[in-house]
Structures are given as structure tokens and as C-alpha cells.
């Protein structure tokens, strides 16, 4: 065999050796490394996605916290906004198309009531007016206030004493007496205000027409209500506490308000002026005293706050906070300027649980009618609401009469 043939035979055996076990190991190792690299890439991608999600979540939380701390600059999404915008357009220019459109689309709101005397005031303005009425120095602040949809409100008072007693297991149970029910009907009356403004002022977009209107209406309503709840005669207005018959508390009967006399005509007793206040407090039943309030005007308050008891302590104490009322013998004092001054036989101080003793009934809606013709070049706004009031429990209120008897 030649050397060339020997080398060829040796080369053939070398190729056969490379396809043996060593080659299989190399192939398996290469596949393992490839799969491991793919696994590393998948893990890296998964970790990167999780990190991105955590970063995005952290950014959203930061934005939410910043949004919560930021003051609200717009209320365009609020439900009453369409009504408010339409109402403002009506006040400024008399354009009521938007209000009529709202009434068709949202019949439950009953927005358009022009045939009944005007359009319903938007909720925010109405709430502003109601807030002012509740905060004023009026009987309303301490009375029982109810909202009604009818033209009157009936209060039923049961004078019957329910039969009661201790009974044995086989003994007879006491029966309830025949009911004796008193019906007090409180009619609602129309209260109106008529502020006016120039058309030039209404055309000024910077002029807060709703705030101005709410302020004017609330002021007029508050003054009219306060006077009526004290001295109204019930003719086209609420009936006040001073319009009812007054009798000596010793001879009191239902339908009258009982009074305690000071013993001195037109003044407190010269020797013991504070005794009349004490007598007035304890003339009221114990069940009413827990929620009782004194009502008087500023002149009477000026005279009362100088009084001292037998130990030289003032009966009057001022409130510790700005919103807290002054107290007389521990009971709150409401300063109502429509109460009578101290004079001969005047009942200048009232004391009682007015939440039980006086009821204010009103319809919740407030209407405004725009009138550009009656007071040219001004525009009148005829605002109306319906309200009534009357004594609902004659046992719950007592009066102090500045007289001998």
C-alpha cells in the first residue's frame, strides 16, 4: 500500500470518529445553552414588564393624590349645571327656551312652571336662600319646620290620657278613654319679593346675578317671616304667637297662651325683679323645659341681662363661641326684634319649647318671574314662595306680662 493510500485510509477513520459520542455531547450542550439563553431572555422580559407596571401604578397614585389636594375649578359635570345655566340665561336676557327644553327632557324636575307664576330657582340659589332664612333671628330658627306639597298642613293633637296602671296576671286592663283629638289647620300663604336691576347691569357677565338675587330675596323673606311669626294675624300671612288670646296661667285652657305677670305695670318688680323670670320658667311644664328657649327683643334683653340672683350672680351669660346663643338661667335666648318692647301690659318675653309649640309649613319650591316691562329701564324679578305658620301646642309656650295681673 502506498503512503497516499495509507493517509486516505487514516483520514476516513478520523471522520468516522467525529460522529461518535463526542459529537452527541457537543450537540446536547449546545441545545442546553440555547434553551438557557432563551429562559434568561424570558425572565428578563417578565421582570421588565413587572417593573413598568409598578412604575405606572406609582405614577397613577401620585397623580390621584395631587388631584385630591387640588381645589375644584369646575363643576360642569354636576347634575344641576344645565338648570343653573338655563336659569342664568333667563335672568339676564329673558331667554327661557333652555328652561322649557329642560322641562320637556326632564319632566320629573318640573322646571318650567311659567303658567303658575314663574320658573323654579336653581337648587344652589334656593339652598342659599333657605340657609339665610334658617340662620336669621326668627322663630323659624327654633320652630318645627315641615315641607308640604298641599295648600295647608294639619296638626293633630290628642288630649286623651292613655289608660295605664299596674295589673295582676288575671286582673282587668285599664281601657283608653274616648279619643279627644284637636285639629289645627295651617294654611300656606304666598310670600313675595320684587328686587330690580338695570338691564345694563344684567348684561355685565362679571355681575353675579344669582348671588345678588339670592341676597335680595332672602333678606326680604326673612324680614317678612320674622314679623309674621310673632304678630301675624293669619289673614294672607302666617298667624303669630301674639295674635292668640292670652290668659293668666292660673286659668289657662287650650286655645290660649298662658302668661305670668311681673306684678308691676310696665316694668319688673322694683324689689325682686328676677322673681318674674323664675316664675315664668317654672310655669312651663317639665316635659317642655328641656328644649325651651327665651324669645325677646334687644331692648328687653338689655334690661334682663342686668339682673342678679339673691347671691349677686348674673342670670344672663353670654355664649362662649361666636355662634353660641346667650343664656338666661341656663336656657338659650333668641333675639327677635319683632317682639314687643317692655310696656304696660305688654307680653315682651316668651319662653317655651317652640319646636313643639310652633309649626312652620312651607312648599320647598321657590319661583321667579322676570318682568322687563313694569319698571323700565329696570327689570323686576317677582319671587314667590308659599309658607304658613301657627301655634301647634298651646301648652308649650308661656309669656311674661309686664302688668299687675
Give yes or no for a contact between 404 and 276, defined as CB atoms under 8 angstroms apart: no
> In the predicted model, what is the mean pLDDT of residues 54-71?
63
The model's pLDDT over 123-163, given as tens digits with 9 standing for 90+, comes to 777 888 888 787 777 899 999 999 998 889 999 887 765 55
Alpha carbon distance 147, 140 (integer Å) = 13
How many angstroms from the chain centroid is the CA of residue 156?
26
> In the predicted model, what is the mean pLDDT of residues 84-101?
74
The model's pLDDT over 226-237, given as tens digits with 9 standing for 90+, comes to 999 999 999 999
Alpha carbon distance 131, 222 (integer Å) = 11
Q: Which residues of 115-148 are buried (b: 16+ CB within 10 A; e: fewer)?
A: eeebbbbbebbbebbbebbeebbbbbbbbbbeeb
pLDDT at 20 over 70: no
pLDDT value for 165: 62
pLDDT at 3 over 60: no
The model's pLDDT over 343-396, given as tens digits with 9 standing for 90+, comes to 999 999 999 999 999 999 999 888 888 888 888 888 998 999 999 999 999 999
Q: Which CATH number does 81-159+180-236+364-390 carry?
A: 3.30.2400
Confidence band of 77 (pLDDT split at 50, 70, 90): very low
Helix residue ranges, H only, 77-208: 81-93, 97-105, 123-135, 199-203
pLDDT at 239 over 90: yes
The full set of domain ranges for the chain reads 81-159+180-236+364-390, 241-361+393-401
pLDDT value for 46: 80
pLDDT value for 318: 86
Confidence band of 400 (pLDDT split at 50, 70, 90): very high
Between these two residues, 140 and 323, which has the higher pLDDT value? 140
Confidence band of 80 (pLDDT split at 50, 70, 90): low
| CATH class of the domain comprising 241-361+393-401 | alpha beta
**152 DSSP β-pair partners:** 187
pLDDT value for 186: 95
pLDDT value for 336: 94
CA dihedral 372, 237, 291, 328 (to 10 degrees): 90
The domains spanning 81-159+180-236+364-390 and 241-361+393-401 adopt the same CATH topology = no
pLDDT value for 160: 64
Confidence band of 30 (pLDDT split at 50, 70, 90): confident
In terms of average pLDDT, the best of 49-53, 55-59, 190-194 is 190-194
Percent pLDDT > 70 in the chain is 78
pLDDT value for 65: 61
Rounded to a whole number, what is the distance in angstroms from the first to the last CA of the chain? 162
Alpha carbon distance 242, 86 (integer Å) = 43
pLDDT at 164 over 70: no
Q: Which of 64, 134, 394 is nearest to 249 (CA)?
A: 394
The DSSP string of 89-102 is: HHHHH---HHHHHH
pLDDT at 113 over 60: no
Mean pLDDT of the chain: 81
pTM of the model: 0.70
Give yes or no for a contact between 238 and 244, defined as CB atoms under 8 angstroms apart: no
pLDDT value for 63: 64
Amino acid at each position: 500500500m502506498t503512503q497516499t493510500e495509507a493517509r486516505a485510509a487514516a483520514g476516513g477513520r478520523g471522520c468516522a470518529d467525529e460522529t461518535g459520542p463526542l459529537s452527541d455531547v457537543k450537540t446536547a450542550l449546545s441545545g442546553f445553552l440555547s434553551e438557557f439563553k432563551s429562559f434568561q431572555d424570558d425572565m428578563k422580559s417578565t421582570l421588565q414588564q413587572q417593573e413598568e407596571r409598578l412604575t405606572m401604578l406609582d405614577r397613577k397614585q401620585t397623580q390621584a393624590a395631587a388631584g385630591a389636594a387640588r381645589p375644584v375649578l369646575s363643576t360642569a359635570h354636576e347634575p344641576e349645571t344645565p338648570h343653573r345655566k338655563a336659569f342664568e340665561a333667563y335672568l339676564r336676557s329673558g331667554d327661557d327656551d333652555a328652561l322649557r327644553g329642560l322641562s320637556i327632557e326632564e319632566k320629573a324636575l318640573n322646571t318650567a312652571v311659567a303658567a303658575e307664576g314663574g320658573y323654579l330657582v336653581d337648587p344652589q340659589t334656593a339652598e342659599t336662600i333657605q340657609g339665610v332664612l334658617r340662620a336669621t333671628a326668627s322663630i323659624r330658627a327654633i320652630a318645627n319646620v315641615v315641607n308640604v306639597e298641599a295648600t295647608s298642613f294639619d296638626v293633630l293633637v290628642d288630649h286623651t290620657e292613655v289608660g295605664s296602671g299596674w295589673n295582676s296576671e288575671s286582673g282587668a286592663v285599664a281601657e283608653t278613654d274616648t279619643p279627644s283629638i284637636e285639629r289645627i289647620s295651617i294654611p300656606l300663604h304666598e310670600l313675595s319679593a320684587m328686587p330690580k336691576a338695570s338691564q345694563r347691569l344684567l348684561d355685565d357677565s362679571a355681575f353675579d346675578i344669582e348671588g345678588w338675587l339670592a341676597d335680595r330675596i332672602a333678606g326680604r323673606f326673612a324680614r317678612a317671616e320674622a314679623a309674621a311669626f310673632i304678630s301675624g294675624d293669619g289673614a294672607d300671612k302666617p298667624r303669630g304667637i301674639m295674635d292668640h288670646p292670652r290668659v293668666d296661667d292660673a286659668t289657662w285652657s287650650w286655645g290660649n297662651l298662658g302668661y305670668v305677670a311681673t306684678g308691676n305695670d310696665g316694668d319688673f318688680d322694683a324689689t325682686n325683679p328676677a322673681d318674674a323670670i323664675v316664675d315664668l320658667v317654672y310655669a312651663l311644664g317639665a316635659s317642655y323645659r328641656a328644649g325651651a328657649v327665651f324669645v325677646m327683643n334687644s331692648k328687653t334683653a338689655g334690661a334682663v341681662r342686668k339682673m342678679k340672683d339673691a347671691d349677686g350672680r348674673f342670670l344672663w351669660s353670654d355664649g362662649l363661641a361666636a355662634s353660641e346663643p346667650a343664656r338666661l338661667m341656663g336656657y338659650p335666648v333668641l333675639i327677635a326684634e319683632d317682639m314687643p318692647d317692655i310696656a304696660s301690659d305688654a307680653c315682651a318675653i316668651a319662653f317655651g319649647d317652640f319646636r313643639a309649640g310652633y309649626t312652620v309649613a312651607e312648599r320647598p319650591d321657590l319661583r321667579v318671574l322676570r318682568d322687563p316691562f313694569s319698571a323700565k329701564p329696570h327689570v323686576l324679578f317677582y319671587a314667590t314662595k308659599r309658607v304658613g305658620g301657627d301655634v301647634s301646642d298651646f301648652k308649650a309656650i308661656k309669656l311674661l306680662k309686664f302688668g299687675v295681673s
